[in-house]
Structure 1
Amino acid sequence: MSALADALTVLAAWAIGSVSSLSAFVIDQAGQAEMNRALFLNAFLVIEFIKVLARTLLAPRWPALRIWTLSDTTAAYWYFWLSRFVSVVGYTMFFLAPIVAINVSEDAAQVVRVVVMFAALVLALIIILQNRDQVRRLLLRRSETRRTDILGRFLASLARLWHVVAIGYLVLVFVLWLAAPAMALPFVLAATVQSIVAVAIGVLLTGVIARVAGAGINLPAEVSERLPLLERRLNAFVPNVLRVVRILVAAVVLLVIAQFWRAADVVGWLSSEVGQRFAVSIVSAILIMLVGGLIYLAVQSWVEYRLNPNYGHVPSPRERTLLALFRNAFVVALGVLIVMLVLSEFGVNIGPLLAGAGVVGLAVGFGAQKLVQDVITGAFIQFENAMNEGDVVTAGGVTGTVERLTIRSVSLRTLDGAYHLIPFSSVDAVTNFMKNFSYHVASIGVDYEASIPEVKQAMHDAFDKLKEAGFAGDIIGDLEMHGVTEFADSAILVRARIKTKPGKHFALGRAYNEIIKEVFDERGIEIPFPHVTFYMGGEDKAGKSPPPRIKRQHPGPKPTTGKPKRGAATSAASAKSPKRQRKTRVTQDGPPDEGQDAPDQTEVS
């Protein structure tokens, strides 16, 4: 409304001046004076409308109406110099120079134009150099807010070179005006205005696209519950599509600017057969990639829906494994297909590419036999359902949980958290601890003096306590008591087995061992550690062992001189020998024989 009121004021002033000029023409019939007034009114109308545009954009007196975020000082500064520049150049070109040409000569008018235009050029260059740093900072701030956008990168590049571009443009306009003022200047001004309009439209479209991409996509709650990852995929897919659209908009703007400046005959080229075929190829390639992206989203969403345990049936480990492999294989096949179709749209013959790919694949097959072995072994392992994601297996000498399966390798996470990537070529056998069901084997050693029936009953009672502790849902069947399986060196091994659901035997076995320890402690059943019971000469039928042969040594002075005794030499030699003699200290049962002293040291070798 402010700009409209300002424009109407200028138009009213021009109309009043025109009416006054017509009245004066009727009164004095002076043709020359009328010509001067008409020139002045035309110059006034053009110049003042340019000032109206400047006041609309800068609003030096009304900060609330200012479109740009400029300070009052900056707005007043730019309006001051812009209005002075437009006034001097405009009145010179549209009023002063025509009067000099009529009254003096055209050469004199041209001199006036050149002097004024050169002065305006120098003034413009000074203003550009004075504001070089300020405009650069402004452009850099604008680019920081749009760092990932193509416009932001363009502003960051323009910030370093804007003054060079502006100076070069003004010098070019001045030189073209000097060379051919009647033809070059209107062309340059028209191309400049058209380029500014094209850039403005491109910036507007880019801003709208950026706003749409920034808003994101919010799916309904029911859809998000069914497909938890779909919203995130769409919010990652749509910005990429919009980024491509922004690149296309920028390319179209550049082509339009090139057409305006006659740097390239874009319209003529697009009218030709080659141009039309290229344009159709571009559009077809974009549509192929768009459809491929939609197919990718659809397949990913379908796999995600099948793997969602909240809807339908809970997927089995085999389903999870096969769907993951299908998803990976489908992505690779879809990518290859899209690339081939895009190349074919641009006229590339994909037949030789397919043949060359076959030859290269054959060469790679011969050169990478290990890779081929990985793939073939992995395919048979998947076909035989030897392992699935989440299973605890032993493969390649490593025991861990299967985290990821591909056609070439298996990824295991061991108990200590280490991540192992094992190629199938190094897997000779697969041990799966979670196939259909599991067993916890309790092989418990007890003392030789323990009662085996009591031990079995204690193990049954511990099994009952285990079910009461919350493991009843993981147990399949009753306790399988195998009985005594081995007479070990220090213990008798009593074995039992508990059948559990797949993978539940680990936690259940740890809990059962704790309960066994508590029950055995309560009932006095000893779980022995490795030891040796020594009997002197064995036992007789009455269960008594004969007394050991005891060598008593009385303390006495050690010989310090003379020839050492035979026993001493032997002891010294034994001390120097690296081999140790195993000696066992024993304590004699009962008192010593009558008439004998108590031994100072008793040794049995």
Structure 2
Amino acid sequence: MKHFIALVCLCLAFFFTAAHPSSAQTTPAPAASTGEAPASTSVDALIRILEDDAARQALIDRLRSAAAEPAPPAEAPTFARWLAEHTTQATTALKEALASAWAFTERLGEVLAGTASLDLPRLWDVIASLGSVMLVAFLLLFAARLIANRFLDRTALRAAGAPLVTRLALAVVAALIDALAVVIAWGAGYLIALQLGSEAALSFGETLFLNALIVLELGKVSLRFLLAPRHAALRLLPLDDTDANYWYFWLSRLVSLVGYTFLFVAPLVAVATTFAAARSVRVIVLLAALFIGIAIILQNRDAVRARLSTAGREWGHATRQVLIVLSRIWHVLAIVYLVALFAAWLSNPFTVLPFMLRATVETGIAVLVGSLVTAFITRALRGGMSLPDDVKARLPLLEARLNAFIPSVLRVARTLVLILVLLAIADAWAVLDLGGWLASETGRNLVGALISTSLVLVIGWLVYVAVSSWVEYRLSNDFGRVPSARERTLLSLFRNAFTVVLLVLVGLLALSELGVNIGPLLAGAGVIGLAVSFGSQKLVQDIITGAFIQIENAMNEGDVVNLGSVSGVVEKLTIRSVGIRDLDGIYHLVPFSAVTTVSNFMRGFAFHVAEIGVAYRENIPQVKEAMHEAFDRLSKTEHGSAIIGPLDMQGVTGFADSAVKVRARIRTLAGQQWNVGRAYNEILKAVFDERDIEIPYPHITVYMGRDKKGHAPPLHVVNDRPVEAGAGEDAAAAAAKKPRRSRPQRHRPERASSGPERLVSGEPDDTGKP
């Protein structure tokens, strides 16, 4: 601030010196009479030619012959020529600026050495008047900012934790409050400056300062709107407090340095001394700003590189690669841009510089709007979609289906925003004329085709979601009519077939909207289909067999079938294959061309076939009675609703090695035969145990033969099992007291305490059976 006040004082000194040339040494201007004589002579000669008819006619003929000669062809402008011209202009301007700065330094040295006299009282009056206006304006601005900060703090408290749209609205309100404080301070300063001045109007320096104050402080309001260094809740950019304060500090200083120089100091120097001196001041300040900007870029090179490298993780691969390359060279591009901006100001400040500044502002606006739109879309869709509970109950897969498209929608939206931002930047830097291209027939046709294609894709996606949701609703068992197995199978096939048809139709319509002739595609698809049909006989056989299986309703999803060597539950049916899950949980995919026989266990009704083996000694009528009793008990359980007929007793069906086979059938609902059969077997086992009916296990009877008298030789059985002392007598006594059974005692092939035993007999028992 001290350097700024000193510079202002020097400018006032030169301004006072220029206003009183008698008190300072001045360089006399060269006389203009040296160029007046040749000019008047040429005019007199032209008058004499026009007054003479012959001379006038000769001049006219000469001019006509000169006009008839073809003009030399103009050289086509090239980039090298354009660069050379601007480089020459920049070098010449820099040379003139350095010469002006040297002259300004010499003038400053004369003032400091005392060779140029100054009217110190007059100088002091000017400094005091302008300094008082500046001091009052800054004090008023400081007071207005203090009052406005109270309202800004309350606004930031309301914005904490609010949604993005609410935060954006509150940030705009805070910026308006901040701008209102600046305007009030500027107006109050203007009025107080009028009261402090001795004249009715402000001086030139006071007007320059107040105008610079309002423009630059409103520019700082824009910086505070974006960065919000004191209120993190109102900050729109993804920066922490440290970064926000850092960038606001340097950007506000650069705005003050360059702004006050161009809007206040340089005009004052131009009025006080010469335009060249003012230009030298601008060059010095802009060089300082250039070096400061380069230092800031180099200081943040690694931080920006890390942020750019991690910014595109959620984007596509191409975008991530672009950001990675940009993160490595961004500082070089930024330094080149600053140097080019400085060179443009030096070479052509009235044409090139405004173009670059306007393009820079448009680029910043495009990037800012693109970032805000991308952030809004990301925050709106990142949490996914949540449907009402009744919709979830009716369509349980709809929410998951919609949320599955969210990553793709985000990727497409980000890519579209990136393309629009790049197009806006290219248009800002005149790389392409976006407005003219859109106004042309080609641009209109391409934009219309893209919009039509997007509509076709969106409508196709909506139709797919609607049809899939309708099929899902029809397959639900909780709402509407419970679908049959046939309906489930046909609806699943319809959904798959409709998806394929819709995909082909939407693809063809999209290509047609883009201007692609789909006639050859359709003809080529027909030819390819014919070739595939001839070359892929198995595929054709799969499809034809599958179509007839579906027409004949041979099986549906949920049926238990037997396809040759594969048995299990049908989980999935397509037009080409069937998926079966067997008892062990193994999933089998069987093409229909391999299916020769379909055995469906789920058609109409089913039978549980109970083929029971009983011992040869058992009474068959008693066995049948026991089986009827077990059936009656089964009918009274929860399985009774699955039984749709009486017990079909078929009697003895065969004689096995160790048992007599007795068969009965239970008629059940389709698919319930296994549950009913398991329950019937449990009950039948209990009834047989109650009635002492033997269900034999495989055993061997040793026949020792008979002599002619009908007697069999005795068979001695030796027990090799160790017997404890005293245990044999107790066992013999217990065996003597136990009544003898009327049939051979059962023996198990394995016992817990000994190995397998065999029943060995050679003599008939009391019943006469061997």
TM bucket (normalised to shorter chain) is: 0.7 to 0.9
State TM-score, norm by structure 2.
0.64
Cα distance change of structure 1 residues 259 and 407 upon mapping to structure 2, 3 Å threshold = same
1:208 is aligned to 376
**Among candidates 596, 599, 618, match of residue 428 of structure 1:** 596
**Among candidates 177, 180, 186, match of residue 354 of structure 2:** 186
Q: How far is 1:47 from its partner?
A: 2.6
Q: How does 1:221-232 map to 2 (within 5 A)?
A: 221-232=389-400
Amino acid at match of 2:633: K
Unaligned stretches of 5+ residues in structure 2: 1-173, 716-757, 765-770
Equivalent pair of 1:396/1:426 in contact (CA under 8 Å): no
Equivalent pair of 1:444/1:495 in contact (CA under 8 Å): yes
1:261 is aligned to 429
2:263 is aligned to 94
Amino acid at match of 2:611: S
**Among candidates 250, 270, 280, match of residue 81 of structure 1:** 250
2:190 is aligned to 15
Cα distance change of structure 1 residues 302 and 97 upon mapping to structure 2, 3 Å threshold = same
1:4 is aligned to 179
1-structure distance, mates of 2:586, 2:420: 53
1-structure distance, mates of 2:554, 2:308: 62
| Secondary structure, counterpart of 2:607 in structure 1 | strand
2-structure distance, mates of 1:393, 1:539: 59
Q: Which has the higher contact order (CA 8 A, sep 6+)?
A: 2
2-structure distance, mates of 1:377, 1:408: 8
1:501 is aligned to 669
**Among candidates 132, 138, 162, match of residue 301 of structure 2:** 132
1:304 is aligned to 472
Amino acid at match of 1:301: S
Equivalent pair of 1:129/1:163 in contact (CA under 8 Å): yes
1-structure distance, mates of 2:657, 2:593: 42
Amino acid at match of 2:284: V
Q: How far is 1:175 from its partner?
A: 3.0
Equivalent pair of 1:396/1:422 in contact (CA under 8 Å): no
Q: How far is 1:115 from its partner?
A: 3.2
1:49 is aligned to 218
Higher mean Cα deviation, 347-356 or 513-522? 513-522
Cα distance change of structure 1 residues 251 and 445 upon mapping to structure 2, 3 Å threshold = same
Equivalent pair of 1:224/1:230 in contact (CA under 8 Å): yes
2-structure distance, mates of 1:70, 1:295: 42
2:712 is aligned to 547
Equivalent pair of 1:14/1:45 in contact (CA under 8 Å): no
**Among candidates 258, 281, 289, match of residue 120 of structure 1:** 289
Amino acid at match of 2:181: D
Q: Aligned pair 1:395/2:570, yes or no?
A: no
Equivalent pair of 1:150/1:247 in contact (CA under 8 Å): no
1:555 is aligned to none
Q: Aligned pair 1:173/2:341, yes or no?
A: yes
| Secondary structure, counterpart of 1:394 in structure 2 | strand
Cα distance change of structure 1 residues 109 and 380 upon mapping to structure 2, 3 Å threshold = same
Q: Aligned pair 1:340/2:512, yes or no?
A: no
Cα distance change of structure 1 residues 62 and 311 upon mapping to structure 2, 3 Å threshold = closer
Deviation string, structure 1 residues 546-573 (Cα, Å, up to 9, x no partner): 53699xxxxxxxxxxxxxxxxxxxxxxx
Amino acid at match of 1:180: N
Q: How does 1:441-460 map to 2 (within 5 A)?
A: 441-460=609-628
* % identity of equivalent residues: 54
Amino acid at match of 2:620: I
Equivalent pair of 2:714/2:763 in contact (CA under 8 Å): no
2-structure distance, mates of 1:200, 1:100: 37
Cα distance change of structure 1 residues 112 and 277 upon mapping to structure 2, 3 Å threshold = same
Equivalent pair of 2:701/2:759 in contact (CA under 8 Å): no
1:581 is aligned to none
2-structure distance, mates of 1:291, 1:362: 31
1:554 is aligned to none
Equivalent pair of 1:14/1:44 in contact (CA under 8 Å): no
2:450 is aligned to 282
Equivalent pair of 2:315/2:414 in contact (CA under 8 Å): no
**Among candidates 527, 539, 551, match of residue 371 of structure 1:** 539
Equivalent pair of 1:6/1:52 in contact (CA under 8 Å): no
| Secondary structure, counterpart of 2:296 in structure 1 | helix
Deviation string, structure 1 residues 522-549 (Cα, Å, up to 9, x no partner): 2122222233434455899xxx955369
Q: How does 1:558-573 map to 2 (within 5 A)?
A: none
Deviation string, structure 1 residues 252-273 (Cα, Å, up to 9, x no partner): 3332222222111111111111
Amino acid at match of 2:527: V
Cα distance change of structure 1 residues 392 and 59 upon mapping to structure 2, 3 Å threshold = closer
1-structure distance, mates of 2:231, 2:596: 84
Amino acid at match of 1:205: V
Q: Aligned pair 1:329/2:497, yes or no?
A: yes
Equivalent pair of 2:562/2:598 in contact (CA under 8 Å): yes
Higher mean Cα deviation, 512-521 or 416-425? 512-521
Amino acid at match of 1:307: L
Q: How far is 1:437 from its partner?
A: 1.1
Cα distance change of structure 1 residues 538 and 445 upon mapping to structure 2, 3 Å threshold = farther
Q: How many residues align?
A: 547
1-structure distance, mates of 2:419, 2:227: 30
